[in-house]
């Protein structure tokens, strides 16, 4: 019986040690472990665009963006596997495209904000200079 209690005590101590180590490694104490990323998308075209953003588990629904209008949503990236992927469809007059709007390994968002502008040729990520975004082709 005493040996069983000792094993439980050792298991509890090991679990606590692992938890504290993870806190220090990933920032659990500061709340950074489950940080939110805010994705903003702005339509820079001269016509309305219907967007539909989702990942494998969550559907943000359809939204119509008028010219120069924006849409934003937040997500919680995977803190351990770092494989979060969000994609959006973009539809306008006789065209529709898909783009991976948030790829955790690709997107290092400034202050946890990923800003995008949508053009006819593809989405452009606004990183430092809003006048010089990094543009990507449609998927």
d(CA 85, CA 110): 18
- Count of domains observed in the chain: 2
Q: What percent of the chain has pLDDT above 90? A: 56
3-state secondary structure of 10: helix
Cβ neighbours of 115 (radius 10 Å): 19
- Read off φ and ψ for residue 95, nearest 5 degrees: -140, 145
Q: Are 71 and 106 part of one and the same domain?
A: yes
Strands 37-43 and 113-119: parallel
Closest CA to 114 of 95, 86, 139: 86
pTM for the model: 0.74
Q: What is the pLDDT of residues 69-124, one digit of tens each?
A: 999 999 998 888 888 999 999 999 989 999 999 999 998 887 889 999 999 999 99
Range of the structural domain that residue 9 is part of = 1-32
CA 123 vs. chain centroid, Å, equals 16
CATH number where 122 lies:
2.60.40
Work out the pLDDT band at 28, boundaries 50, 70, 90. Answer: very low
CA angle 48, 114, 135 (to 5 degrees): 65
Q: Are 46 and 92 part of one and the same domain?
A: yes
């Amino acid at each position: 019986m005493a040996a069983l209690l000792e094993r439980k005590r050792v298991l509890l101590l090991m679990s606590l040690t692992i938890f504290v180590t993870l806190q220090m490694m990933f920032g659990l104490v500061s709340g950074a472990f489950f940080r939110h990323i805010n994705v903003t998308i702005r339509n820079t075209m001269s016509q309305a665009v219907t967007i539909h953003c989702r990942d494998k588990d969550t559907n943000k629904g359809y939204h119509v963006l008028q010219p120069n209008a924006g849409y934003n949503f937040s997500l919680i990236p995977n803190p351990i596997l770092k494989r979060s992927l969000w994609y959006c469809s973009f539809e306008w007059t006789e065209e529709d495209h898909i783009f991976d709007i948030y790829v955790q390994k690709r997107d290092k968002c400034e202050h946890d904000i990923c800003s995008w502008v949508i053009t006819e040729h593809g989405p452009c990520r606004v990183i430092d200079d809003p006048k010089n975004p990094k543009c990507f082709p449609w998927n």
